Structure 1
Amino acid sequence: MRWLNRSVTIIKSDEYEGVVDVWERRKYMAGINGAPCTTETKIAPRLAFQRPDDVHVFGYTADKEDLARFARLQENFPELTVKAPLIEAGVNKAAALGMLYRAGIEPPRTYAMGFPNANCLQTGCAKATSPDYWSLLRLRFPDRFAAMAERSRRIGARLARIKDERIFIDEIPADWPVTNPIAPACDFLCQLAEMDLEKVA
């Protein structure tokens, strides 16, 4: 907010207290059609809040996974006017982190801990299938991992995938490797994006 000199309105679900409430009440965590926590705590509040002439700006980066996520968003919500400035500028996640550091903004500490994003840290992300991710959560936050393992077993959600087989996260071997931190790197594309940002601010 300070960087862009803009105010932010925080919205949330009127029906659910958070992701755990969604999982417990729906008895479902994630599957082939995604995760209900995303629908109920992100999409539904946005749909209730938005106006027909809104422009929706998303922080997707130019990384392969985010390009696919943005394409799915456009496919699933063709009625929305959407923008992804980081994709348009060719800025990947490492460059985005570099831009934050250069602006004097400390990114969420989860990035330095090796997590690929800063969301769902209290529970772990139900959409994550990487055993490396769950192994890192087990290393950094063993109590949170244990709670998620118990919950996913009780609900019957095999969240991790090894060699195309879905497994419970507590079945991941104890010596499984973890994800590595993303090294911030600001190249000429991120410098161009910073110049554009200065024009907006």
Structure 2
Amino acid sequence: MYKLGYRNNNCIGCVKGGAGYWNKIRVDFPEVFKQRCKQSRAIGARLVRDSNGNRIFLDELSPDAGKYPDEPDFQCGFMCEIISKENNL
């Protein structure tokens, strides 16, 4: 992940990411991006914000939205660790 320019090695397609992060995932891991789009729709989770600050679904995200290098860094928390252990990730 670091060689691809990511600042951390969180789960690929972490729900904590911003628009730029998700567009980087869209390019680097298109199948993961498509799966997360389906999952976010299925559970009704609007994971990112549009240019007006409104929450949107991933499949509504403009491919040129966000600037990953300018977005705040995010870290895994204890819940991420618990979920990873429960799912053998």
Shared fold, TM over 0.5:
yes
Aligned-pair CA distance for 1:164: 2.1
Aligned with 1:151 (options 35, 39, 42): 39
**Which gives a bigger RCO, structure 1 or 2 (Cα 8 Å, sep 6+)?**
2
Partner of 1:84: none
The answer as to whether partners of 1:114 and 1:136 remain within 8 angstroms in 2 is no
Partner of residue 179, structure 1: 68
Q: 1:161: which partner in 2?
A: 49
Can you give the 5+ residue segments of structure 2 that lack an aligned partner in the other structure?
A: 70-89
* CA distance in structure 2 between the partners assigned to 1:177 and 1:166 by the alignment: 14
Indicate how the Cα distance of structure 1 residues 173 and 148 shifts in structure 2: closer, same or farther if over 3 A, else same.
same
Q: Distance in 2 between matches of 1:138 and 1:178?
A: 13
- Describe the SS at the equivalent of 2:24: helix
Structural RMSD (CA): 1.6
Equivalent residue pairs, number: 68
Question: Are 2:5 and 1:117 aligned?
Answer: no
2:22 to 124, 134, 152: 134
- 1:167 is displaced (CA, Å) by 0.6
Q: 1: distance between equivalents of 2:27 and 2:67?
A: 8
Q: Deviations over 1:167-196 (max 9, x none)?
A: 11111112335524xxxxxxxxxxxxxxxx
CA distance in 1 between partners of 2:34 and 2:14 (Å): 14
In the other structure, the counterpart of 1:17 is: none
Gaps in structure 1 of 5+ consecutive residues: 1-109, 181-201
Q: CA deviation digits over 1:122-154, x for unaligned, max 9?
A: xx11122x1000000000000000000000001
What's the CA shift for 1:161?
Answer: 1.4
Please tell me the residue identity of whatever aligns with 1:172.
L
Structure number, greater radius of gyration: 1
